[in-house]
Amino acid sequence: MLIKNRMSKIQLLAGIILLIIGQSCATKPKGRFNYLKIPVPPQYDENRYWAALPSMEDPADLTPDGLEDRQDEVEADVFFIHPTTYTKKPGNKNWNGSPRDKKLNEQTDETTIKYQASLFNGAGRVFAPRYRQAHIHAFRAEDKRSAQRALDMAYGDVKTAFEYYLEHYNNGRPIIIASHSQGTTHAIRLVKEFFDFSDLKEQLVVAYLTGMPVKESEFRTIYPCRTPEETGCFCSWRTFKEGYEPKNHSENNNIAVSNPLTWKEEQAVAPNEMNEGAVLRNFDKIVPGAADAIVNDGLLWVSKLRFPGSFFFWKKNLHIGDLNLYYLNVRNNAILRTEAFIKNRK
**Which residues are CB-neighbours of 277 under 8 A, at least 6 positions away?**
64, 286, 287, 288, 290, 327, 328, 329
Distance between first and last Cα of the chain: 60
pLDDT (0 to 100) of residue 139: 94
Residue 165 lies in a domain: yes
- Asked if 264 and 228 touch (Cβ cutoff 8 Å), the reply is yes
Cα 99 to Cα 51: distance, rounded to the nearest angstrom: 10
pLDDT band for 9, please (50, 70, 90 cuts): very low
Residue 253 lies in a domain: no
Burial class (CB in 10 A: 0-12, 13-18, 19+), 143: middle
- E strands, 104-218, are 124-129, 175-180, 204-210
What is the per-residue DSSP string for 15-27? HHHHHHHHHHT--
pLDDT band for 267, please (50, 70, 90 cuts): confident
pLDDT value at 265 more than 80: no
- Asked if 84 and 108 touch (Cβ cutoff 8 Å), the reply is no
Other C-beta atoms closer than 10 Å to the C-beta of 111 total: 15
pLDDT value at 178 more than 80: yes
Q: What is the mean predicted confidence (pLDDT) over 132-152?
A: 95
- Asked if 320 and 258 touch (Cβ cutoff 8 Å), the reply is no
Residue 216 belongs to domain spanning:
29-239+321-345
Q: How many domains does the chain have?
A: 1
Question: 3-class DSSP state for residue 272?
Answer: helix
Q: What one-character DSSP code corresponds to residue 172?
A: T
Give the CATH number for residue 194. Answer: 3.40.50
Cα 317 to Cα 335: distance, rounded to the nearest angstrom: 28
Residue 163 lies in a domain: yes
- Asked if 239 and 300 touch (Cβ cutoff 8 Å), the reply is yes
Nearest to 154 by CA among 127, 136, 178: 136
pLDDT value at 323 more than 70: yes
- Asked if 104 and 110 touch (Cβ cutoff 8 Å), the reply is no
Residue 276 lies in a domain: no
Q: What is the pLDDT of residues 151-173, one digit of tens each?
A: 999 999 999 999 999 999 999 99
Residue 205 lies in a domain: yes
Q: What is the pTM of this model?
A: 0.91
Other C-beta atoms closer than 10 Å to the C-beta of 336 total: 16
Residue 139 lies in a domain: yes
Q: What is the mean predicted confidence (pLDDT) over 134-138?
A: 95
pLDDT band for 313, please (50, 70, 90 cuts): confident
- The angle subtended at Cα 195 by Cα 194 and Cα 201, nearest 5°, is 135
Residue 181's region, left for phi above 0, alpha for psi from -120 to 50, else beta, is left
Q: What one-character DSSP code corresponds to residue 293?
A: B
Cα 190 to Cα 63: distance, rounded to the nearest angstrom: 28
Task: Give Rg (Cα) of the chain.
Answer: 20
Sign of CA dihedral 236, 49, 119, 70: positive
pLDDT (0 to 100) of residue 314: 79
- Mean pLDDT over the full length of the chain: 90
Cα 270 to Cα 274: distance, rounded to the nearest angstrom: 7
Beta bridge partners of 296: 299
Residue 203 lies in a domain: yes
pLDDT (0 to 100) of residue 272: 96
Element (H, E) at 145: helix 144-165
Residue 20 lies in a domain: no
